Structure 1
Amino acid sequence: MHIRRTTVVLIVGPVVLVAGAAWMQWLAFGLPSIPMSPTSPTSVPQGFPAWLRVAHYVNLLFIVLLIRSGVQILMDHPRLYWNVHCTPGTEWLRLTPVVVPMDRVWTAKDDARYLTPWIGLPGRRHTVGMARHWDFLSVLVWLVNGAVYCALLFGAGQWLRIVPATWRIVPEAWAYFVRYATFHMPPEPDAFYRYNPLQQLTYFTVIFILGPFAIVTGPSMSPALTNRFEWYPKLPGNRWNVHINVGTMPGRLRGGAG
């Protein structure tokens, strides 16, 4: 595997800066105080209904299938680019030791890598066709499950747990982040009834920002759609690069989001 140093700096740098700021605040001023009054409304539902739990299990199952089939598709051309021309040698991430030779014809089949069926779906080498079928089938069920989840979320009032009601949540979320980053568990007196501000912001971002963005960037990889709507694939960065990073993030971050 090869990754460009500039990309490492761009990805790791902000994380280090934010975590460093949290540590500096703790060392200089101590732990920030945790507000006693809840940011979310006091009328939030109690507990987690059965439909919400089932939706999470279905989401987990098909997120795993999407990640496995997506990784299999990626292994047919195991390189990610920030640009749109994908010229050999300009990739920021290369998941293969093979460097594209310049003295002979090199096709996508030559670039394909073997992936064990324990990880990829369906696994093995150059099975991108079946991997796409798995990806399309899984995403349809994932979309239906997400639509049902959102409908019930607002219909049953569970959205009160997730949607921020005031901008006060931002400094309060930072206070919780400082405690987590410095390995100090914050007090959770009513965790069964409401999320803390940092959890609430995270779940809101995953469900209502990253999820829809993954859906929007998915069709940009369809040749039929992009040939018909030439403006569609002109998204920030390379369309495959954006989709695979954003598309897998809900599964990585969401965890037990309700």
Structure 2
Amino acid sequence: MQVELRRGLPRVPGGEPWPPAGTVDVADAPVEAAQVEAAPAPVSDDTVEVPLRRGLPRVPGGEPWPPAGTVKVAVPAGAAAEPAAVDDAESAHTVEVPLRRGLPRVEGGDPWPPAGTVRVAAPAPEAEPEPHPETETEPAAPVAATVVDDAVAKTAPEPAPKPVPKPAQQPAPASATAGKPEGVARQWLPWAIGALLLLAAAVFGARWFVGTETGAGFIERYDGIQPLPDNAPVGFPAWLNWAHFFNMFLMALIVKTGLDVRREKRPDAYWQPKKGGKKISVTLWLHQVLDVAWVVLGVVFFVLLFATGQWMRIVPTSWDVFPNAVSAGLQYLSLDWPDENGWVYYNALQELSYFVTVFVAAPLAIASGFRMSGMWPASWKAVPVSWARAVHFPTMVYFLIFVAVHVFLVAATGLRGNLNAMFAARDDASGWLGLILFLLAVAVTAAGWWAARPSVVTPVAQATGKVTRR
């Protein structure tokens, strides 16, 4: 027979009640074939109260429906005729059925009702039909068993969905002292204190040694003056002043772009040759262009240095340069500095420092930079790139230390006289022209330092190659 479906709540917000309206065929109750008219099913007068099963509220924020209460249902006739002995805790003719869990009653809560079971009346055992000689009836469908099986299937708890594990958040890497001034200061403070203590110890030691008879005799024998050949030139030519300015300008920008390349993580733009090739950052392109300009300046400097005889001022020509350099160093540390006359001669310590800078540090910087650049032929594998990286950065540190000491001594041993010789090619200890030219050189260098950025360099780089963002 057909039974109309009972409709419940919609499965999606705003949807229609589920299941759709309709009917379903169920098995008819077993009847006797001989009966012409169906006898009314025996109904027991006994009833029992059963608590109503409450569901979800019908309106948001309302109470569960239907209201709490009980309903009286008739006890099956078979059960009334032959009551089974039961105790107060549980009936012998009941079975445990797992509760069917629905949606949570509050947002984020557990499904309702809680997980558990409920006891329901067990289906009555089927009575075998009495055989009739005249006709045989087909076996009836087990209605009660079907109803109970369906109830068990419907009330079985749905497996709760397994929560998707959230990916574990990786802890942010603890950045070192990069970008934090207080971290940098904390890192370098012990080194600075150690250097100051070492310098103080050297000063006290030098003053003690110079005050002894041995130290005084050593300085009297070797006064620290640079031994020069008889035909050594005197003074500075104009080309040397211009070379000094261009060297100052290019070295400042080379150091600046070199540090930018080391710190650069995501370049603003990339440069590629017009004929194709490996892409490099615009900052690295500028660094290499400045390197090439510095090498060209060095070639011109070397040619003029040996063509005019100025090499004799910075190349040792006697073994006496070494004890004289030690003597000059002791005089500096004892704070009783040696006599200065840079227009005519250097002291031996200056001569050795200029020689190392021009003939050792500069070639090492050029060779190591060329090895790390894209201009190095791939077939030349005799020199490993690791060697170049191990040499290039310490060489830059040497240049920085040399410049710091050089500027300090220029200012401490007669600023105007030294600047007139270095920038104006004059032997004048009281003029102001050298200082004015030096300030102009500093201004030009500062402007170049400011302009050494991708936004300014990119239009220039586009004239020599292809510039892209990636």
Short-chain TM bin: 0.5 to 0.7
Report matched runs for 1:200-215 at 5 Å.
200-215=351-366
Structure ID, larger Rg: 2
Contact 1:59 1:145 in 2 (8 A): yes
Q: Which residue of 2 aligns with 1:221?
A: 372
Report matched runs for 1:220-239 at 5 Å.
220-222=371-373, 225=376, 227-233=378-384, 236=387, 239=388
CA distance in 1, matches of 2:371, 2:193: 27
Contact 1:221 1:233 in 2 (8 A): no
Report matched runs for 1:179-258 at 5 Å.
179-188=331-340, 190-222=341-373, 225=376, 227-233=378-384, 236=387, 239-247=388-396, 249-250=398-399, 252-253=401-402, 255=406
Q: Which residue of 1 aligns with 2:240?
A: 52
* Greater fraction of residues in helix: 1
Matched, 1:27 2:208: yes
SS in 1 for 2:361: helix
SS in 1 for 2:297: helix
Residue 231 of structure 1 aligns to which amino acid in structure 2?
A
Residue 392 of structure 2 aligns to which amino acid in structure 1?
H
SS in 2 for 1:173: helix
1:129-150 alpha-carbon deviations (Å, 9 max, x no partner):
1111111111111111111011
Aligned length: 203
2:315 is aligned, of 163, 169, 191, to 163
CA distance in 1, matches of 2:371, 2:302: 24
Residue 262 of structure 2 aligns to which amino acid in structure 1?
L
Q: Which runs of 5+ in 2 are unaligned?
A: 1-176, 178-182, 268-279, 411-420, 423-470
1:174 is aligned, of 297, 322, 326, to 326
Contact 1:22 1:182 in 2 (8 A): yes
Contact 1:172 1:197 in 2 (8 A): yes
1:48-104 alpha-carbon deviations (Å, 9 max, x no partner):
10000000101111111101110100102xxxxxxxxxxxxxxxxxxxxxxxxxxxx
Residue 226 of structure 1, CA deviation: 7.2
CA distance in 2, matches of 1:235, 1:196: 37
Contact 2:372 2:385 in 1 (8 A): no
Contact 2:254 2:287 in 1 (8 A): yes
CA distance in 1, matches of 2:281, 2:365: 21
Contact 2:368 2:392 in 1 (8 A): yes
Residue 182 of structure 1, CA deviation: 2.5
Contact 1:65 1:134 in 2 (8 A): no
Residue 38 of structure 1, CA deviation: 4.8
1:210-235 alpha-carbon deviations (Å, 9 max, x no partner):
00011111122236737433331256
Do the aligned partners of residues 132 and 70 (structure 1) sit closer, same or farther apart at CA in structure 2, a change above 3 Å counting? same
CA distance in 1, matches of 2:311, 2:375: 37
Matched, 1:149 2:298: no
Contact 2:225 2:324 in 1 (8 A): no
Contact 2:224 2:326 in 1 (8 A): no
SS in 2 for 1:174: helix
Contact 2:361 2:395 in 1 (8 A): yes
Q: Which residue of 2 aligns with 1:121?
A: none
Report matched runs for 1:58-77 at 5 Å.
58-76=246-264
Residue 251 of structure 1, CA deviation: 5.5
CA distance in 1, matches of 2:224, 2:398: 31
Matched, 1:134 2:322: no
Q: Which residue of 1 aligns with 2:166?
A: none
* Greater fraction of residues in strand: 2
Q: Which residue of 1 aligns with 2:60?
A: none
Do the aligned partners of residues 36 and 249 (structure 1) sit closer, same or farther apart at CA in structure 2, a change above 3 Å counting? closer
Contact 1:180 1:186 in 2 (8 A): yes
Which protein has greater RCO, CA pairs closer than 8 Å, 6+ apart? 1
Residue 180 of structure 1 aligns to which amino acid in structure 2?
Y
Residue 157 of structure 1, CA deviation: 0.4
Do the aligned partners of residues 165 and 67 (structure 1) sit closer, same or farther apart at CA in structure 2, a change above 3 Å counting? same
